[in-house]
Structure 1
Amino acid sequence: MSLRKNISGLAVAQIFSYIVPLLQFPYLSRIVGDSFLGAIIFMLSISQMAMVLTDYGFDLSIGEQIARGRKNKKWLSVFYCQVAVIKTILLIFAFMLIIGALNISGHAFPIQLTLGLIICVMFNAYNPYWIFQGLEKIYIYSALVIISRFFGLMLVYLIIKIPEDYIYYSWILAFQAGAITLISHYFVIKWGVQIRRIKVKNIIKQLKYSFDFFLSRACVSLYSSGCSVFLATFGGSLNQVAIYGVAEQLYKAGVQVFSPIISALTPYMVRTKNYIVFNKILLGCLVVTVVGICTGFLAGNQIITLIYGYGYQESKSVLNIFMIIIVASVFGMLFGYPALLPLGLGKVANYSVIVSGILQILMFSILYIGIFPITAISVCITYLICDWFMFFIRLYAFVKYRKFNG
């Protein structure tokens, strides 16, 4: 399937993903208040960390193997069964992570909220997105995302009417995840993927092969989702989480603009190694990024007030930091797997975020022992340092390779 069609499909999905939070969170911030909004953001961060564990980087590791030619029904069936077994085991650790994080935080969360979160993570664990990406049929998956998020948005308005209704938010997410996963499996089965007998040694081999991809994703999670979790756990105030989360949601909305490009470009570059197309996309992303940064710096206050209402003005200082981070995030992604995998430098992309993740742990430790106060701003600065560090490692590796190899 053409790169253009996949990017177009993902772009529509990402535009919808961009619009939905801008419609959901303003409503939620006004209905549930800053403390419950902080609880929702904390819950989302925990779920994202748990899903990094259950995803195990299969969208990249197996997606790469499929893009390199292992795409017949036999191979897809083998991958399908291997992933199912591995993810079933990983789910146990994901549930332990969720329960542990909620207990350590010291905040009392209703059982309904926790149960919905666990079900959401379970459905996401068995999502076969990696098959769609490897076969370059992401446009089909994008349509499923658009439809499910539309219904999810409607459910937010229909169900959450008073502050205490925030507990149902995780169930709405569980409904979305369940719908996407079940329908995705329908397509996978329709393509002839079947349950096959697989060998334990091959499962272990797949587990080892995907480990670097997983470790890199886990480290990215440390300085993305981990920041909200750390702030909620050791910052002592869900209000600070809300301040951080408001700015982070706007930042993530900006980054998501580029997600369809990265997702579609990675298998395309592995297959074609077309750096002429890569350079054109790089230039286009630069223009869009500059426009976004200028908008954030100049109109950030008005945007925050318009979307989230009064009471979140403190988020502007955090948003300013995120406007600097977004440069490293966008170009770090472009000079990551799309640029490095075709050159055989996938390990550099992985190790760059592993090193940044270790750096994040060190900075969290510094904040924890009290050298600096744990606030939304201080936590965001640690994110900035890690993301730029990751970007420079990837850029250096790419430039060095191209310089010596042409």
Structure 2
Amino acid sequence: MKNKKIKINAQDKVLFSNTIFLYILTFSSQFFSFLTVPYLTRVLGPSVYGKVGIAVAYMAYVQIILDFGFILSATQKVVENREDKDKLGKIITAVTCVKLTLSIILTIVFGCFVFMSESMKQDAVFYLLYMVSTIANALMPDFFYRGIEKMKIITVRTFIIKGAATLGTFIFVKKAIDYWMIPLFVMLGNSIAVFVMFHDMAQNYQVKFQCTNFRFIKNLVKDSALFFVSRAASTAYQAVNTIILSFIYGSSPLVGYYTSADKLISLGKTASGPIADSLYPYMIKQKNYKLVKKILLIFMPIIIIGVTVVFVLAEPICIWLFGAEYAEAGNVLRCLLPILLVILPTYILCFPVMVPLGLSKWANMSNVVGMVIQILGLVVLIVLGKLNIYTLCLLSSTTEVMVFLFRLIVVIFRERFTEVEKVKGY
């Protein structure tokens, strides 16, 4: 018998290639950020490193507002108009105009908040540098490259630029008082990456800024509104912990313990994100649900084994990564680990699976459900006087598991939920 060769069609090759390069692009921020963590936790100490965590937590909200759901809605628009360069130019222009307008408003609001806060105004430069670096990151038109499924060249360039910026952290941040340089180098890396992306679009894809009208921008914002609400709700229950802990514990090392443990969880989320992000435009066109099952069957056993190992060795891992002062972060990490068990299927079930199935409203609603669960849980913990770093982490894990179960139920019983959408006129 002749050996049968496994045939991989062109679309699957494109999906595989873009998944790999989307991983690199996504990890260019998370990887380099995480690479500096063992160094910064030792140089800065838990208290000062806690300030970094607080800044990152606030910037998570800024990032989600600046994105305004465009990473999903604009990607879909690019997929639908990938051969129309003029239309693509208008999409790029509209998205950029909205983001710049939001950037000005948010900078004014956040600046006022910082200078009115007794605990933050002494670090105003530090927080505002984080603001500018976040704006630069939000202006990257990565939705364009996701939509046309061409990630290679821009990913490599961005990776190199951000790598060079990260190197600056190791060279210049030598003492705790140098902490303000951390967002400075992130800002420089992001700013150069934005310039490179727009230059690449104009030179290699002939997509440039186009004159557009208010109606076009308004329609684009309207189409993106539901995606924004969904992602804002998701951020509301995912990024609020550090802010809550900063009010409870102030500059206590406990905030630093949470920040360091959450870095590991964020890295796990980042590892799952590119799979879902590259699947999204692919599934809109191909609707290959068998591939989704294969991906989950391959990766879930690896995730389960990995989470089990981290649970057992949590303290040694935190000490090895962050330093001897961070042993207590091990227990914090254990409380957050259920998130990593469900994060890949949660991401994949959401937009890559639910949108092609005609369940986009339920995909967006799932994050609202998560926000409601988190808020109700916080109220219960406060009323019972049980709110602390460990119960807060356990609540976050419970919320993520419930969101996963909600999405799974919607997909399994999709015919019933599709009927509901039709009845309500969705």
1:174-323 superposed matches below 5 A = 174-190=187-203, 191-323=205-337
Offset of residue 19 of structure 1 = 4.5
Q: Does 1:354 align with 2:368?
A: yes
Q: Which amino acid aligns with 1:66?
A: V
CA-to-aligned-CA distance 1:41-82 (integer Å, 9 cap, x gap): 111111121011001110101111222345420221110111
CA-to-aligned-CA distance 1:88-143 (integer Å, 9 cap, x gap): 22113422553366467642342321231122122123211111111112333432
Distance 2:404 2:98 in 1: 31
Give aligned-pair identity as a percent. 24
Distance 1:10 1:195 in 2: 24
* Native 8 Å contact 2:242 2:255 kept in 1: yes
Q: Does 1:129 align with 2:142?
A: yes
Q: Does 1:43 align with 2:55?
A: yes
Structure with higher Rg: it is 2
- What's the TM-score, normalizing by structure 1? 0.93
Query: Which range is displaced more, 233-242 or 293-302?
Result: 233-242
* Native 8 Å contact 1:112 1:168 kept in 2: no
1:62-73 superposed matches below 5 A = 62-73=74-85
Q: Which amino acid aligns with 1:400?
A: F
Distance 2:225 2:154 in 1: 25
Query: Which range is displaced more, 149-158 or 164-173?
Result: 149-158
1:344 to 341, 358, 370: 358
Offset of residue 186 of structure 1 = 0.9
- Flag the 1:209–1:234 CA change in 2: closer, same or farther, 3 A: farther
* Native 8 Å contact 2:88 2:207 kept in 1: yes
* Native 8 Å contact 1:127 1:184 kept in 2: yes
* Native 8 Å contact 2:366 2:407 kept in 1: yes
Offset of residue 352 of structure 1 = 0.4
CA-based RMSD:
2.2
Partner of 1:10: 22
Partner of 2:170: 157
Offset of residue 8 of structure 1 = 1.9
- Flag the 1:238–1:182 CA change in 2: closer, same or farther, 3 A: farther
Offset of residue 306 of structure 1 = 0.5
* Native 8 Å contact 1:71 1:135 kept in 2: no
Q: Which sections of structure 2, spanning at least 5 residues, go unmatched?
A: 1-10, 419-426
Distance 1:5 1:36 in 2: 40
- What's the TM-score, normalizing by structure 2? 0.88
* Native 8 Å contact 1:105 1:233 kept in 2: no
- Flag the 1:101–1:304 CA change in 2: closer, same or farther, 3 A: farther
Offset of residue 270 of structure 1 = 0.7
Q: Which sections of structure 1, spanning at least 5 residues, go unmatched?
A: none
Q: How many residues align?
A: 404
Q: Which amino acid aligns with 1:320?
A: R
Q: Which amino acid aligns with 2:40?
A: L
Q: Does 1:24 align with 2:36?
A: yes
Distance 1:157 1:6 in 2: 31
1:326 to 323, 329, 340: 340
Query: Which range is displaced more, 164-173 or 120-129?
Result: 120-129
